[in-house]
Structure 1
Amino acid sequence: MMKKTSVEIIKIIIFTIIFCGKIPAQITLATIKSDDQNDRELYIKGFVQADYMVSFQNMKSKDGFSSYSIEIPQKNAINSNFSVKQTTLGIGFKQKNTNDNKTLSVYAEIDFSGPNGTTAPRFRHGYLQWNKWLAGQTWSNFSDIEILPMIFDFVPPDGLFLTRRIQLRYTTPISTKGSLSFSLEDPNTPSIRLPTDSLNWQKRAIIPAFSTLYRYGNEKNYIKAGIVLSPISYDMKYTSKEDYKTNTIIGWGGMISGKIRLDTKNTFSLQSSFGKGFSTYNTNLREESYDAVPNLYNKNLLETLQLFNIIGAYEHWWASKWSSVFFFSYSNIGFYDFIPKDMTRRFQNISCNIIYHPYKKVRFGIEGNYGKKQNFRNESADGWRIQASTKMYF
């Protein structure tokens, strides 16, 4: 009897997940009204996704398409991969003070993209938010999660700025449609290349990155403009008898992005960014040592590298249950004589999909990705990947 009851409960939960609510959504576990009349809510949210991918070129990134990870020289080879690593699970708590309109919330989230290709849980988000303040790890203030198109791929468009950071952030409205946010972010995030010698130069985390972002618009149409300053510090010396001294250089970047919804069927998105020494904010380059490299012609002192990115996306609804997204992305590293020739100079990708939405919280689809990269030796390689996916929100 108990087994039958459990099965019925599971059926009810699945029915609720599939047929009710909007995307993104959440399941409320408990709602409490305390003696002080404050509303408190405990909830979970996330999605389950399963992917089957076929690649036609060797690339290091197995669970998501990344043009940067295509191997040079060209090696055409067919590889397939099943993955559920995109699946996420989050739990949160909210409290709203009805007297002074202040809110308190706590949220934590994991996915299953563990180390060394495993499906072990991986920490994604964990933060506390009180009124206008946020402290913890979540999307960088210099990221624009709203511009992410409706795609299945684990890796967003190559040129997109979408990274998670430990941070302290303050956000405030400055008009009916405008808001301004400031953040101090983890000083250990710059990714640099140090000289390969016996003197053991070392990266040092001293000054946190600072970013500010302005947003104007509503949920459907908006524009954002942001600036980031990213100090890069390292210990250096030229002889074994010297003491280490700390040198600091400044990386910087600017970003503008926006979305225009022409009507219920057509939406355009665009983002562009440019700067020096801020490559760690790029989706593909965050741990690849592209913020700064040694200048052999200037005593091996580190110099920041330029980076330019642009992406555009178009979403179209063919019918009430059918949609597609097309996007392009291009990234280019500025040229200097001292840059190692094996480093990537430019990379780009395009993608297109077709998605069927049988219910509000269920998607099935096929997605194709093409990418190309070129290094500073002018060697290049390109690759294709086709992905079939199913996704269910809760």
Structure 2
Amino acid sequence: MMKKKMSRHTMPAMITIVLILFQAKANAQIAIVNTEPDSSGRKWSVYLKGFVQADAMLDFQQVGAKDGIVAPSIVIPQHNSMSSYFSIRQSQVGLGFKQTDKDGGSPISAYVEVDLYGSNGTTSPRLRHAYVQWKKWLIGQTWSNFSDAEIFPNIFDFNGANGAILNRSMQVRYTEKLSDKETLSFSLEDPGKVSMTIPGNHPEWKKKSMIPIVTSMYRYGNTKDYVKLGGTLSPVNYENQEKGYTKIGFGGIISLRKYVNSFDNFRFQTSYGKGFARNNLVLSGEGYDAVLDPQSNTAETLSLFNIVGIYEHWWSPKWSSVVYYSYSQVGSNSMVTNSMTKRFQNAAINLIYKPYKNLRMGMEGNYAMTENFGDIKANAFRLQFSTSFSFK
């Protein structure tokens, strides 16, 4: 740790070097600055966290998404075409600021994180998280309150189980600690995240952002074993030249993790609702919250069911494997087109070697299948070889 202040030239240089060379996948972090406590015992710290990951992928069928498995992106009809892809775009770096009081609490903190998942396949920085926390309040962009980032195990794939509920959102969140094991949180989130499908021959209709999304999440457990119960109300707002309309979607989630011994653990998640597809890992922004019926001036919310099961096993302190399965199904109505995704699933297994605390390497096999409302199916298989180095 360094207790001297960084110059205005040193800080940008250090951040640039870390962004290029390092990356971290858990809660690994490295301290940059720690100030001396003031008269009231408060002090400030600045830290970096992240990881550098290099991936080599081999696809046996044509898929639209390269960096992570996205089952709905598999080309329909089936197109068996082998291809390889190399990437460092998963790499991430975050910069945090935190005030610590004399009791060890952190009443004020801020965090910014980027990855290299730029648009159009570039490796330009993309903002992932940017938020400020003050006591029980959080303001900014981070994982939606109606999400569970804890469900993800030791894997390499950028997406993992496609049926998981996980997305980032601008929000205002309030969290209350009910007991040593219980927390309850509520949020108002960006209504622009809601997406709907509007027929191309009706340009007079458009989606608009108006009423915030409302979420709640209850968590019971400790740092290892827990269960989460959550709910969301997701307004779908749309209009033509004459009038605006609102349709209310909803969703519920159960998510848990249970350790069977010191290392092995089981994770499970299921969710169901209507008009809440924005929360799904791979359907967010794809128009599956609602479908517009211009004849009746009504947006019909689409139902969505997801289920995910994950098991993580450690063969030894340095060797581990994860196996998981995920299934999702979209509900139908009269406005759904045959080209839209009806159901999708993916399953994976890996073998990871961790010779040092900060270094992981291994391989992962992922199978995915998709089916559209025209009852046409396609599947894909991917092999991924990865190495990641985190810093602390």
TM over 0.5: yes
Which residue does 1:204 correspond to in 2?
Answer: 208
Q: Deviations over 1:206-229 (max 9, x none)?
A: 111000000000011000000011
> Is 1:132 aligned with 2:132?
no
Which residue does 2:247 correspond to in 1?
Answer: 249
> Is 1:374 aligned with 2:362?
no
* Larger CA Rg, structure 1 vs 2: 1
Which residue does 1:263 correspond to in 2?
Answer: 261
SS in 1 for 2:161: coil
> Is 1:156 aligned with 2:146?
no
Unpaired stretches in structure 2, ≥5 consecutive residues: 1-13
State the alpha-carbon separation in 2 of the partners of residues 102 and 266 from structure 1. Answer: 31
Root-mean-square deviation (CA), in Å? 2.0
> Is 1:290 aligned with 2:288?
yes
State the alpha-carbon separation in 1 of the partners of residues 342 and 220 from structure 2. Answer: 34
Indicate how the Cα distance of structure 1 residues 123 and 134 shifts in structure 2: closer, same or farther if over 3 A, else same: same
Amino acid at match of 2:289: D
Q: Displacement of 1:338 after TM fit?
A: 2.6
Amino acid at match of 2:339: D
SS in 2 for 1:156: coil
Unpaired stretches in structure 1, ≥5 consecutive residues: 1-9, 237-242
Amino acid at match of 1:352: I
Q: Displacement of 1:107 after TM fit?
A: 0.5
State the alpha-carbon separation in 2 of the partners of residues 157 and 100 from structure 1. Answer: 36
State the alpha-carbon separation in 1 of the partners of residues 328 and 88 from structure 2. Answer: 28
Which residue does 1:277 correspond to in 2?
Answer: 275
CA contact 1:274–1:307 (8 Å) conserved in 2: yes
Which residue does 2:359 correspond to in 1?
Answer: 362
Q: Deviations over 1:152-179 (max 9, x none)?
A: 0011311001100000001111122000
Amino acid at match of 1:326: V
Which residue does 2:151 correspond to in 1?
Answer: 147
Indicate how the Cα distance of structure 1 residues 101 and 46 shifts in structure 2: closer, same or farther if over 3 A, else same: closer
Q: Displacement of 1:199 after TM fit?
A: 4.5
Amino acid at match of 2:73: S
CA contact 1:127–1:138 (8 Å) conserved in 2: yes
SS in 1 for 2:193: coil
* TM-score with structure 1 setting the length: 0.91
Amino acid at match of 1:93: F
SS in 2 for 1:68: helix
Indicate how the Cα distance of structure 1 residues 72 and 174 shifts in structure 2: closer, same or farther if over 3 A, else same: same
1:77 aligned residue (73, 76, 81): 81
State the alpha-carbon separation in 2 of the partners of residues 53 and 268 from structure 1. Answer: 27
2:337 aligned residue (317, 336, 340): 340
> Is 1:311 aligned with 2:315?
no
Amino acid at match of 2:207: K
Q: Displacement of 1:295 after TM fit?
A: 3.2
CA contact 1:22–1:361 (8 Å) conserved in 2: no
Indicate how the Cα distance of structure 1 residues 161 and 22 shifts in structure 2: closer, same or farther if over 3 A, else same: closer
Q: Deviations over 1:369-388 (max 9, x none)?
A: 00101000100000000000
CA contact 1:23–1:361 (8 Å) conserved in 2: no
Please say which of residues 281-290 and 25-34 is displaced more in the overlay. 25-34
State the alpha-carbon separation in 1 of the partners of residues 219 and 99 from structure 2. Answer: 26
Question: How many residues get paired?
Answer: 372
Q: Displacement of 1:102 after TM fit?
A: 5.3
Q: Displacement of 1:39 after TM fit?
A: 1.8
State the alpha-carbon separation in 2 of the partners of residues 31 and 341 from structure 1. Answer: 58
Indicate how the Cα distance of structure 1 residues 360 and 160 shifts in structure 2: closer, same or farther if over 3 A, else same: same
Indicate how the Cα distance of structure 1 residues 138 and 22 shifts in structure 2: closer, same or farther if over 3 A, else same: closer
Which residue does 2:173 correspond to in 1?
Answer: 169
Q: Displacement of 1:198 after TM fit?
A: 4.8
2:296 aligned residue (295, 299, 322): 299
Q: Deviations over 1:232-291 (max 9, x none)?
A: 11112xxxxxx4200000011000000000102420000000000000110110011000
Indicate how the Cα distance of structure 1 residues 117 and 139 shifts in structure 2: closer, same or farther if over 3 A, else same: same
Q: Displacement of 1:64 after TM fit?
A: 0.8
> Is 1:24 aligned with 2:22?
no
Q: Displacement of 1:200 after TM fit?
A: 2.0
CA contact 2:25–2:50 (8 Å) conserved in 1: no
Indicate how the Cα distance of structure 1 residues 32 and 198 shifts in structure 2: closer, same or farther if over 3 A, else same: same
Indicate how the Cα distance of structure 1 residues 22 and 285 shifts in structure 2: closer, same or farther if over 3 A, else same: closer
